[in-house]
A = this chain, B = another copy of it.
Amino acid sequence: MNAVAKDSPNPWNALASQNPVVHFIDVCLRGAGQVMFQNNPLTGLFFLVGIFWGAYSAHMISVGIGAVLGTIMGTLTAYALRAPRENINMGLHGYNGILVGCALPTFFAATPLLWGYIVAGSIFSTVLMMAVSSMLRTWKVSAMTGPFVITTWFLMLAAYNFGNIQIISLPHPAISVQPAASDLFALNMEQFWRAAFAGVSQVFLINNVITGILFLIGLAVSSIWAAVFAFVGSIIAICTALILGGGSTAIIAGLFQFSAVLTAIGLGTTFYNPNWRVVCYTFLGTVFTVVAQGALNVLLNVYGIPTLTFPFVVAAWIFLLPNIDLLPKNYQS
């Protein structure tokens, strides 16, 4: 959340401060980076490359296009609604849009209506970002990826009511029953590492080891600790899910890890100065995120929609509320 643009007089920042087109690209890239709390255009570039690689590998290039479209629309909406310029410049009005743009083509068929849905969704995610931020400012807590999640849930739920929105990959709505007990050592080494990297790539709804590595490099160029917490968070989540008996298929696909990755970065590096108490607290929050992932899976199975990053949002809100005096002053729209 450092205001890099002001501080470091590197050529890119100099260019961005003069040329409005470069400035807009800079803001959009920072929006991509803010998904994992990094106010850094180079991080955002690595994230975009990772998204396009994952989308290309899965033959779903519409995910990459959606990501770009969502970021641009979300950011433009913030200008139109006259959000504070310092928030826009930090990318705080792009990160929900990029996630909406990744999520919708993942779950819906690429019909013309999809693109309208992405445009409307990313516009709405910015309205919601301003609404949620306005509420949470009372407690000095930020909106996290809540606006993305709520926007996407609304659109997904609506798809079960409106026949012209074509679902391709949402889970079948069903009442949950308890699964069979599962083995603590269900993963071999290759699966374990695959799960660790997929847990990072799934932050943008992509199941791809190389994308995960690109995301970690993107984090490291901004903050080495962010990369460390992200990767260790993914590993803690795998272990927690194995102990509790999450299915190995879901773990290998990264589905118990991506929210925990965000919690680990968020609690560990962004909001608090790291020390051993912060490490313990972050560990607790990361483990809780996995339990919350399981609980929210059950809540949403009935509706046939995924949790997205809401386990992280819940964990971050709960674990940040008690110690709000430790929050840095400059993170909050």
| Partner-B contacts on A (CB < 8 A) | 81, 113, 120, 123-124, 127-128, 130-132, 134-135, 138-139, 153-167, 173-182, 241, 243-247, 284, 287-288, 291-299, 302-304, 317-319, 321-324
Contacts and interface: CB of A to CB of B under 8 A. Distances in A.
Contact of A321 (B134, B244, B293): B134
Contacts of A319: 127, 131
The secondary-structure label for the interface of chain A is helix
A156 B113 CA distance: 36
A318 B127 contact: yes
A84 to B, nearest CB: 11
A160 B131 contact: no
Copies of chain A in the complex = 3
B244 A158 contact: yes
A163 B245 contact: yes
Nearest to A302: B302
Given A124-B284, A175-B302, A302-B302, 6 more contacts: A131-B317, A134-B321, A134-B324, A155-B295, A161-B246, A163-B178
Contact of A303 (B132, B162, B164, B299): B299
B163 A181 contact: yes
A193 B135 CA distance: 40
6 contacts: A113-B244, A128-B318, A157-B296, A161-B179, A163-B182, A166-B181
Nearest to A83: B322
Nearest to A176: B160
A128 B245 CA distance: 25
Given A160-B298, A181-B164, A324-B134, A154 B81 contact: no
A118 B130 CA distance: 38
A81 B324 CA distance: 12
A293 B160 CA distance: 12
A76 B139 CA distance: 25
A322 B182 contact: no
Contacts of A245: 162-165
Nearest to A154: B295
A139 B128 contact: no
A250 to B, nearest CB: 9
